[in-house]
Structure formats: structure tokens, C-alpha cells
Amino acid sequence: MVLHPLDWSIIALFLLISLLVGLKFRARASKSLSDFFLGGRNLPWYIAGISMVATTFAADTPLAVTELVANNGIAGNWLWWNMLFGGMLTTFFFARLWRRANILTELELIEMRYSGIEAAFLRGFKSVYMGLFMNTLIIGWVNVAMLSILTVFFDIPESEVIWYAGGAMLIAASYSVLSGLWGVAITDVIQFIIAMTGCIILAVIVVNSDKIGGITGLKERLPAGSLNFFPTLKGSTASEVVSTLSLSVGAFFAYVSVQWWASWYPGAEPGGGGYIAQRMMSTKSEKHSIFATLFFQIAHYCIRPWPWIIVGLCCLILYPDLGADDKKLGYVMAMKEFLPVGLKGLLIVAFLAAYMSTISTQLNWGASYLTNDLYKRFIRPESSFADQDKVQSHYVNAGRVFTVLIMLMSLYTTSVITTISGVWHFIIECGAGLGLVLILRWYWERINAWSEISATLAPFFFYWLGNYQLELEFPVSYFLTVGGTTVTWIIVTFATQPVNAETLKKFHNTVRPGGWWPSFQSDVAASNASQNNGIGMLGLTWLFAIVMTYSILFLTGNIILQEWTDATWSFLSAFGSFLGMRKMINLTGIFKD
């Protein structure tokens, strides 16, 4: 496909702006590791929050939503909508704790919370496992999605397309290397605005085209069940014919009752973690950390998905003959068919923006692990420097080198990935069962490094057992992995020694999480009583926030689909739960500086 010079000009301008942002923040990022990886802990909540949303909007996200809608209608999105439960848990229970810990990376918490050589091993192991292995898998699947877009939209041969993606990754790596987190966060804001604008424009154009006929025409021509917000469950005893747009009871149960707390998943880690924790730790204060995470949850679930869902629904009508493996490409085909000159360039920029915001964050986040938790901790500690004035600049340069290393490793990983769904399935099952440990380590003193080590490694065994020996299908294989991993880490926890009391005391006095800390209860009784009283109110805040966010999500959809009665009920639910959440926030006082 040949683009108009105007389209190419829009693309070139966007790439130039991204590089200029990197150059602008270069000096600020070079001061120290904290400046390079945490923006000097000075990000306002709206920058940190938008950066979180932008990072989770990758090049594959609209394609994935299109595929979910094609297979199971709107309700197919419960595959990721369920993660709101865990996201709001992070908002009210963990955001302020991450900021309060005053650490540089998520993995630094390991030796703050645990003791002994096992804690050091876990920190070093996860720096490579998370920062390099899992990180390159994530970047690889994002790259594969971008390759699909370039192949379909530009008709670029598959043998050449990886060089185009490599060029886009190089630009993202360039401003990430130059400017650190500040540059990444600012470009995230720019990129998110562009990406969402492009997606909204595409949705409006496609749904109002002659082939669809507006919202009325869309609703009239869609298969039965496509517009249901909740799935028609296979195995139901209802007498009506079950639509092909349905989920098994087990799959829906796995999504809404188990997956959100049991599984590690990038951007939705139970208890926070990864780049979400990085953004929380980079904010100005605990209050900014909570605000940023709350904004992220609302924007992630209520603002982003509907333009993609509408285009996905239109693709059911426009491209009914797409095979199972090609349904996701309906989104790109709609771009190619309906966008005029200028808007084609804007949509390509939107996908580049989504792609580069994810890549730059993954590179910066992964490099923080390799620099702070591997190189600085085990290979070149601060005590080894004769000239202490050069320590910070040395580590910043090491972070830049690791950024480039991750980029190169990711390009190789991209070349060996065959399916995005295969990577997703592997990641979600090989993190199944770990989530509860990541939550409880804040609130139960008996959790130790061996708990987390066993919960990290056990899923691989049960994944192999369920998928390759017993040949189970999801969600049965998933329940096996979660159950087996949970039993394993509980046994290991009580079979091994508790964490050193002095380490526990120091952690508790610094973070003040509340929970169950009986071994030194006399020292912290007053603090724990206050914190534990607040946990109950935080639980109610969490519930109100979940109802509010789902209500806003459904309200937005009802307005778009012109279902006015349902929209009224959704509005009343959203408003009532907002009042309840605000009341509980005032009682807990968590927004006070």
C-alpha cells in the first residue's frame, strides 16, 4: 500500500517529537539511578497515571479486543475486565505501601521483606527472570502484533517486516536511553492522546459507514448475543438456544473469581508490581501514588475499550469469513478500507504511539532490574568504587547498556514467537498461584523467601503436567496450576524457617502495612490496631470502587449503543457507588498528605 505524502509527514513529525522529548530530559535522567528509573520520585499523579494507561495500550491491544469480540461478543472482554478486582486492590491496599517503602525497584523489596541467602538468591534470580526472560517475551509478543499490522496495512513481505519494527523499537530505545523515566512518561502522555484520538476517529468512521449504517444498523445486523455485557454460559440449564458467542461456566468462573488474585500478569500483578509499581514509586507522595493508580483503573477499563469494541463488532459484519487465526486482523483491514488520506497517517501514528509507549516502558523497567538488582547488588556494588563521585553516573550508564541489551534480545525473541495467544497462555499459566504470596507478604509475617521461590517455580511443573502430560484444556489446566502451586507454597512456608525478627520489625516499622505480625506484637500492637481497623474500611472502599468502575464501563457502552433505560440504571449505580467510595475514603483518611 502506498501512503500519501501527508500521511508520511504525520508519521515523521511524531517520530521527531519523540526524539526531541528524549533530548530534553537527558540531563535530568543522568543525575542518579533514582532520576533515571524513577524520575527523581517527583511525577505528579496525572503523569504517572496516564503513563500506566499508555503502557497497557500496546499495538496488540485493539487486535486482541477485536479477536475477543469476534469469538464471544462484548462479553469476551471479561478475559481482562476481571482484572479490575486486583487493580482496585492495588489502588487502596498497596499503592501507598509501595511509595512508603522508598525503594528503587520492586525486587529491592525482597531483601527488605525477607532475610538470609535465600532472599539474595530470589532477588538475583528474579532480576534475570523478570527483567530479561519474561520482559523479552512481552516485548516479543508486542512486536509480533506490530508486524501483523505492518504486513496487512502496508503489504510488506514477511521477510522484511521485522526490520521496520526494529527501526521503531530503536527510536523507542533511543529516547528511553536518553531521558529515563521522565522522558518515557512524558512521551507516554503524548502517545496516549494520539492513540486514543486515532482509535475514536476510526470507530466513528467505520460505524457510520454505508456498510454498517450507524449504531441502529450495527445492532440490527449483529449475531444474537453479540451485545450482551455478560456471557451466555455454556452448560446453562436455560431452555433457549445457546449462542456460539459464549463462554464455558468454568472459564467465566476462572476469570472473575480466581485469575485476578492468583496469577501474575504484566500490568495486573496482584499487590502491584512491574511497571505499575515503578510508576507508584515514582510519584511525589503517597497521595499522588493512590490518585495515579485510581485514575489508571478508571481510564484503563472505562475510557479505552469502547472504540476498539465498536470496531470489533463492525468487523463481525464487514469480514465474516475471516478464519479463527485472522479475526484479529479485521481491525487493521478496517483501517485500510475506511481511512482517507491524512487519517491513515494518524492511525499509523496511533499504533506507533501505542507500540512505543509499551516498548519504552518495558525497556526502562527491565533495565532497572538488571542494573539495580543484579549489577549493583551482586556484580559491582557501591563499596567497590574508589571514587564515590562516579558511582551514580556509572550505574546510569550501565542502565543504558542494559536497555540496549534487552532491545537486542527482544528482537531475537520476536523472531521465534509464532503466536501471540501461545505466549499469553504460557505467561498467565506460569504465573498462576504466585499472586496470593505477592499479596500476603505485606500482611502476614510467616511468608518468607522460600514461599515466593516455590510459588515462582511450581507453576512451571503444574503447567507441564496439565498441558503436556494430562492434556487438559483451559480452565481445567489453570485450576490445576493454581491449586497445585498454592498447596506447594503453603507446605514450603511451614517447612522452612521464619524471616529474621529484626528484618520483619524494620520492614513493618518502615511500611506500616497492618495485618498479622504476632512474633513482635507487643512492639507494634498500637500501630497494627490502627492499621487493621483501617483494613476493613479499605475493603468497603475497594468494593464501592469496583462497582463504580464497572458501572461507568457499562454506562459508556449503553450510551454508545443507545440503550437508554440500561444507561439510567448504570448511571444511578455509578453515582451511588461513587458517593459510597468517597465517604469511605474520607473515613480512612488515605488521601491526606
Tens-digit pLDDT profile for residues 325-343: 778 888 988 988 888 877 7
Would you say residue 344 has pLDDT above 80?
no
CB 374 within 8 A of CB 127: yes
pTM of the predicted model, to two decimals?
0.89
Highest mean predicted confidence (pLDDT) among 16-20, 26-30, 432-436, 535-539: 432-436
CB 524 within 8 A of CB 501: no
CB 566 within 8 A of CB 558: yes
**pLDDT band, very low/low/confident/very high, at 356 (cuts 50, 70, 90):** confident
Would you say residue 512 has pLDDT above 90?
no
Instruction: Write the CB contacts of 100 (distance below 8 Å, at least 6 apart in sequence).
Output: 286, 510, 511, 512
Rounded Cα gap, residues 212 and 269, in angstroms: 39
Sign of CA dihedral 542, 543, 544, 550: positive
pLDDT of the residue at 387 = 78
**Structure confidence by residue, pLDDT tens digits, 3-15:** 678 877 888 888 8
Give the count of beta carbons closer than 10 Å to the beta carbon of residue 521. 12
pLDDT of the residue at 559 = 96
Q: How confident is the model over 465-489, as a mean pLDDT?
A: 89
Prior bond of 266 cis (ω within 30°): no
Give the count of beta carbons closer than 10 Å to the beta carbon of residue 239. 5
Would you say residue 47 has pLDDT above 70?
yes
Q: Which of 26-40, 122-136, 239-253, 507-521 has the lowest mean pLDDT?
A: 239-253
Rounded Cα gap, residues 479 and 476, in angstroms: 5
DSSP 519: G
Rounded Cα gap, residues 430 and 264, in angstroms: 8
**Structure confidence by residue, pLDDT tens digits, 216-252:** 999 999 988 889 888 765 554 443 433 445 556 666 7
Residue closest to 429 by CA, chosen among 259, 273, 250: 259
Q: What share of the chain in percent tops pLDDT 70?
A: 92
Residue 495, Cβ density class (10 Å: 0-12 exposed, 13-18 middle, ≥19 buried): exposed
More confident residue, 21 or 204: 204
Crossing angle, helix 501-511 and helix 521-560, to 10 degrees?
Answer: 50
Helix residue ranges, H only, 465-499 = 476-495
Residues linked to residue 83 through DSSP beta bridges, in sequence order: none
Rounded Cα gap, residues 151 and 249, in angstroms: 37
Residue closest to 267 by CA, chosen among 306, 302, 300: 300
Give the count of beta carbons closer than 10 Å to the beta carbon of residue 390. 11
CB 91 within 8 A of CB 545: yes
pLDDT of the residue at 240 = 40
pLDDT of the residue at 233 = 58
Instruction: Write the CB contacts of 108 (distance below 8 Å, at least 6 apart in sequence).
Output: 123, 372, 373
More confident residue, 266 or 307: 307
Query: For residue 48, what is its C-alpha cell?
Result: 504517572
Phi, psi dihedral angles at 477 (to 5 degrees): -65, -35
Q: How confident is the model over 200-205, as a mean pLDDT?
A: 94
CB 51 within 8 A of CB 291: no
